[in-house]
Amino acid sequence: MRLEGKVRKALEKHPDKNLSYRIKDGVVFLYGQVDSYEEWVEIGLEVGKVKGVEGVVNKITWKGYPEEKVREREERRKRIFEENKDKMIGSYDVVIIGGGVTGTAIARELSRYQLKVALLEKSTDIATGTTKANNGMIHAGIEAPRSTLKRKLNVKGCRMYERWARELNFKYKMVGSVWLITPRTLEKYKRYLPGPMYTFALRYILPYIVVFKALLNGVKGVKVIRGAKIFEVEPYATRDSVAAVYVPWTGIVEPYEVAIALAENAAQNGVEIFTNTEVVGFLNEGGMIRGVVTSRGTFQCRYVVNAAGLYADEIAELAGSPEYTIHPRKGVMVLFHKATGSYVKHCLAEIILPQHPRTKGGGINPTPHGNVVWGPTADEVPDKEDVSVDPEEIQLILTKYSTILSEFPRQKLIRYFAGVRAATFTEDFVIRPAKWVRNLLHVAGIQSPGLASAPAIAEYAIQKLREMGLELREKPNFNPFREATPSLREMKPSEIDEIIQKDPRWGHVVCECELVTEAEIIEAIRRGARTTDAIKRRTRAGMGECQGGRCMIKIAMILSRELGIPLSQVLKEEAPLFNGHVRGEAE
């Protein structure tokens, strides 16, 4: 078999490892043991690159593989499964697993039709995984390789954002991106380009290669700019820029705002959203899933969508159709104070070829609320929930991007954070019916540009569901519009006065840095926020320079009052914000 031969050849690079493989319907299962996690990733990627491979399930272990932890997790799932498999919650046409931007986008798209839909999220809130920690960039679609599904959906999805933002009322700005070409751009190839050839290549050849690549990918309107024009569009860009490529379509959003808006609109149109609901197993019968068993009970279903992000591989395996392994790729970002907003007009990056493996894809981006974000980095990590930041990574980011924006006031750094991308070894979106279970749709491997592609992913997923036999009858009363939460920041004094006369809580500023009032916090709670982090994502309370130092207690007290729970039971995200009482106070 040809595929078999190619896989064998890919593995021959590691002859001493005693690795074995099995191929079933285009999916390669790898077995054996290697020394390091890096090798595990490398081998997976090599096999994933082989043409014709539709998925890599990497069962190889490495030294330090957390066997104990994996077993504990499995036992825990089994225990909850046994407890809850007979506890019926309800019967649904479609059950979506995962409340990130992908799951919520699919939920919202399905809410157009006469269907009973449930969305299950294991966390206390939606948008708490990959969706909450990325740089919010809506890519135009130039970077992805031409033959990939992510290229197709990225180009399409990017153009759908304007409408999404209008209907769903989240902040979106089509700022465009500027890719700088500098003397550093082709430094690695300089020896092949002697003397003036180098500058000529930078100035007149490379930019047009990028424009050509864009055209091949279906992205029009990309322009080359040179000389003073560069600094007209991006005044603080490094003075040694010799040319730049301008991409008008690039946009920026706050990713969690998108997912929250989608979820709210989906709920408005009848989708039932269950948070704190972790999937632990499936009830299968005759090659089909009949029930999704969760920590809350069992959801009977006709179709299941696996949009579980970092956990999509585990969900696929539990459902009986393991077709890929997720290898988490962490990205660290640095966030700056709003006072820096005037330094960056576009999504700004410097083209460096070949790309640095740890910072490829990163850059300097404005955010829709006026901050600036630098990054992300890219690091393979064994732990899906490893959102730790190594101070060295911050330094790496600061050093790298300072070269293109040297006057930027770096001391205005207010936070850094990490997110984890849910990459598969084939490094493309996996959106297809499961091979070995008839009513499961995989929507996995949604890494960058997953956010930009989300609107197109949702459409594509629904088309697949239709092909799988789901009948879609439009709902006559579908309402595509979601009302935004009003915000004091955006009101004129006369409007503020008017709204305070109706509700004095609008006059009580709780977060001074971001100007968030009690009324906005209460509205966020009304819309489903149950934790201080959930309130932060919906209102921005705590996102300013003091990072919640002044307002966190006030917010916790409002939550405590509104939910009728003691202050010590108010959650940050998954755990209580404070967890004790002073001596002599009753628990």
Q: How far apart are CA 480 and CA 489, in angstroms?
A: 26
Single residue of 239, 399, 473, 575 touching another protein by CB under 8 A: 575
Name, in order, each residue with C-beta under 8 angstroms of 83's C-beta and a sequence gap of 6 or more. Answer: none
- Catalytic-role residue among 14, 139, 346, 508: 139
- Nearby residues of 469 by Cβ (< 8 Å), 6 or more positions away: none
Binding window for another protein (CB under 8 A); candidates: 19-27, 191-199, 221-229, 574-582: 574-582
- Candidates 385, 407, 483, 490: give the one binding another protein (CB under 8 A): 385
Q: Torsion over CA of 423, 425, 429 and 430, rounded to 10 degrees?
A: -120
Residue pair 310/131 in contact by the 8 Å Cβ criterion: no
Q: Kindly tell me which of 187 and 407 has the beta carbon lying closer to another protein.
A: 407
Least Å distance, CB 536 to another protein, is: 12
Stretch that binds another protein, among 356-364, 399-407, 474-482, 565-573 (CB under 8 A): 565-573
581 counts as binding another protein under rule CB under 8 A: yes
Does residue number 547 form part of the binding site for another protein (CB under 8 A)?
Answer: yes
Radius of gyration of the chain (CA): 25
Contacts of 226 (CB under 8 A, 6+ apart): 203, 242, 243, 244
Query: Is 369 a catalytic site residue?
Result: no
Report the residue from 488, 525, 535, 541 that binds another protein according to the rule CB under 8 A.
488
Cα→Cα distances 142→3, 159, 205, Å: 30, 13, 17
> 359: closest CA among 311, 403, 326, 413?
403
Q: Please, which residue, 420 or 454, has the CB nearer to another protein?
A: 420
Nearer to another protein (CB atom), residue 145 or residue 504 = 504
Binding to another protein by CB under 8 A, coded x per residue (else -) over 398-427, reads ---------------xxxxx----------
- 106 versus 334: smaller Cβ distance to another protein: 334
Nearer Cβ to another protein, position 484 or 500? 500
* Residue 135 beta carbon to another protein: minimum distance, rounded to whole angstroms: 17
- Looking up tokens 């820096």 gives 340
> Total binding residues for another protein by CB under 8 A?
53
Selection from 39, 34, 6 nearest residue 18 by Cα: 34
Q: What distances in angstroms separate CA 22 from CA 35, 53, 60, 61, 65, one per listed residue?
A: 21, 12, 12, 16, 22
- Who contacts 241 (Cβ-Cβ below 8 Å, separation ≥6)? 180, 181, 182, 230, 404
Is 506 a binder of another protein (CB under 8 A)? yes
Q: Among 18, 355, 479, 501, which residue sits at the site for another protein (rule: CB under 8 A)?
A: 501
Handedness of CA 143, 307, 80, 587 (dihedral sign): positive
User: Judged by CB under 8 A, does residue 490 bind another protein?
Assistant: no
Q: How many other β-carbons are positioned within 10 Å of the β-carbon of residue 375? A: 29
Q: Which is nearer to another protein, 49 or 412 (CB)?
A: 412
Q: Is 468 in the site for another protein (CB under 8 A)?
A: no
Calpha distance 64→4 (Å, rounded): 30
Q: Taking the chain, what is the end-to-end CA distance rounded to the nearest angstrom?
A: 68
Supply the minimum distance, in Å, between the C-beta of residue 335 and another protein.
Answer: 9
* Identity of the residue, 248 or 382, whose beta carbon is nearer to another protein in the bound complex: 382
Does 507 contact another protein by CB under 8 A? Answer: yes
Just list the catalytic residues: 139
Q: Which residues bind another protein (CB under 8 A)?
A: 339, 385, 387-391, 394, 413-417, 488, 493-494, 496-497, 500-501, 504-509, 512, 515, 517, 545-547, 549-550, 552-553, 557, 567-568, 571-583, 585
